[in-house]
Structure 1
Amino acid sequence: MEQILLQVRDGLIGVEEAGLLLQQRENDAGRESRGRSAADLGFAQLDLEREKRTGSPEVIFGEGKTAGQVVAIFKRLMEHSDRVLATRIDGDKAQLLLEAVPEADYNEAARTVLWRRFGNSGAAADHEQLRQVDANYSAPTAGEVPELDRVRAAGEVPELDRVRTAGEVPELDVRGAGAAAIQGGYIAIVCAGTSDLPVAEEAAVTAEYMGCRVERIYDVGVAGIHRLFAKLELIRGADAIVVAAGMEGALASVMGGLVSRPIVAVPTSIGYGANFAGVAPLLSMLNACSPGIAVVNIDNGFGAGYYASLISRGR
């Protein structure tokens, strides 16, 4: 720009020509920026700036793609992010993908492949470390830390005993590499029956990929509702709750009358004929009498885990 202005000053070009040159520079800069924001693989245009816009990188949906396409997309995304998630990956595609990216982790139940630049320990391992630190903690007794005794005696910090709780004082948390994004709370992933577990696991893996801690509560459907009551305290403590249920999908409505947290309901395609491949629980959840329930598409564990993560991260 400076060169163009100097040329105008020296009378080498006119104002109109200078304007055209500046417009061309702006157009060229825009094209360069757009080139950096997407990667053209021919069969796919990868959105490289999605994490900057939304907080999460582009996720690969594996169904309908060849193994070669999944591998190519996965490896290109690895160049631009510290985490890559692929969903709906069957065993054959997973085998080829793991040969190309051996450090990735395949969850057979969820049909997901997850890679992290700093290892696949994820939120669960980081929070397990926090629980171990908390379990091994013992408050100093009188005389061990004279300064602390004076503070306690003076009553200057009445809630000092609560400080050790993970998440209450972020500066005091002991966390592993890459754990800065891990949230202090957790998401409860609840499924009605073991047959619903693949959808629930997809939600769980997605939430962990998003940096959230997950508590899994499985096989607590309404046919044996006492199993749910036994886990109710854990569920009520969550920031958000994902409920995956097939058959008639009653668990989401029941849950809505028992908790004060947001519920993300996932109808699954598990059930007999009149289940209509998940349409019956979908309609049941949409018509739930209990408030506080949002419903995603049939078998959409990814969408449920993602949405619950946004709720948890926003708290």
Structure 2
Amino acid sequence: MTLQEILESVKSGSVSVEEAERILKKESYEEMGYAKLDTSRKARTGFAEVIYCSNKADEHLLNIFERLYREDGEVFGTRASQHQYELVKEKFPEVEYDPISRILKVEKKDKKRIGKIAVCSAGTADIPVAEEAAQTAEYFGTNVERIYDVGVSGMHRLFSRLETIQSANCVIAVAGMEGALASVMGGLVSRPVIAVPTSVGYGASMHGLSALLTMINSCANGIAVVNIDNGYGAGYLATQINRLAAGTDEKGN
């Protein structure tokens, strides 16, 4: 629960003052020996802790997943393997897995989503990273418009969806090769653009370094760049921007 949710629950009477005090006094993290779970992160930041699944031992992943599930009733994991999905599914049959984005999650079904962001990929090969960004934003309560395969080798494809892109509170541009899509977006929209370089490309792309350098050196304004293949980071940042925009709109300012 966030701090606001705790206070509202006390106000409505669904949580007693004593229970609220217990929650607020609870240890800010849970010591598991191999992990220190940041159980107060959602109260501090509005975002619960997420599991980076890659390279985790089976036992560690299962125990962390179970503890976070007990804490909040939902869990979000990135970079999970098929093996890890099958492992978690034995204990949590409701878990969902997307082999494209490699997202592993248990998500509340009645979740409210606000605002809108646009997640755009230059090519079909960039979709795994784009989907990581899109599903991260959706998990954290953002409406997402997916616009894929609109790279600079065929600009007319992008222009056909421009009105939708321009109406979003934030745009995520996911591109490999030379990474030019982000610069194009920066010159077409009035909202922040989050550029995500991917490791898609031939030899001289240097596993995404070429796209990263292009995006960092863009002459277009309003572009922020995350790390290579970091769809999660882009989706998180886009959600923060979207929450600000949606909050402003709700106040009529």
TM range, smaller chain = 0.7 to 0.9
Give the Cα separation in 1 of the matches to 2:212 and 2:111: 37
Match of 2:106 in 1: 115
Which of 217, 220, 241 in structure 1 is aligned with 2:150?
220
Aligned length: 222
Corresponding residue number in structure 1 for 2:46: 55
CA deviation after TM superposition for structure 1 residue 200, in Å: 0.2
The offset of 1:67, in angstroms, is 2.5
| TM-score, with structure 2 as normaliser | 0.85
Is 1:238 the counterpart of 2:229? The answer is no
Question: How far does residue 224 in structure 1 lie from its aligned partner after superposition?
Answer: 1.0
Query: What amino acid is the match of 1:73?
Result: I
Pair 193,178 (structure 1): closer, same or farther in 2 beyond 3 Å = closer
Report runs of 4+ in structure 1 exceeding 3 Å deviation: none
The Cα offsets for residues 279-308 of structure 1, whole Å up to 9 and x where unpaired, read as: 000000000010010000000000000000
The Cα of 1:212 is off from its aligned counterpart by 0.4
SS of alignment partner, residue 178 of structure 2: coil
1:36 is displaced (CA, Å) by 2.6
Match of 1:196 among 126, 131, 135: 126
**Structure 2 gaps, min length 5:** 1-23, 246-253
Matching residue of 2:82: 91
Structure 1: 5+ residue stretches without partners: 1-31, 120-176
How far apart are 1:97 and its partner, in Å? 1.3
CA–CA separation in structure 2 for the residues paired with 1:104 and 1:54: 25
* RMSD over aligned Cα atoms: 1.3
Match of 2:213 among 283, 286, 292: 283
User: 1:115-141: CA deviations, max 9, x gaps?
Assistant: 12x33xxxxxxxxxxxxxxxxxxxxxx
- What does the per-residue CA deviation read over 1:40-59, in whole Å, with 9 as the maximum and x for residues that have no partner? 22211101000000001100
Larger radius of gyration: 1
Q: 2:198 matched to which residue of 1?
A: 268
Aligned with residue 76 of structure 1, among 62, 67, 74: 67
TM-score, reference length from structure 1: 0.69
- Deviation of 1:237 after TM superposition, in Å, equals 0.7
CA distance in 1 between partners of 2:60 and 2:137 (Å): 25
SS, match of residue 58 in structure 1: coil
Is the 8 Å Cα contact of residues 172 and 234 (structure 2) preserved in structure 1? yes
Structure 2 residue 30 is the aligned partner of structure 1 residue 100: no
What secondary structure is seen at the aligned counterpart in 1 of 2:195?
Answer: strand
Question: Quick one: percent identity of the two aligned structures?
Answer: 51
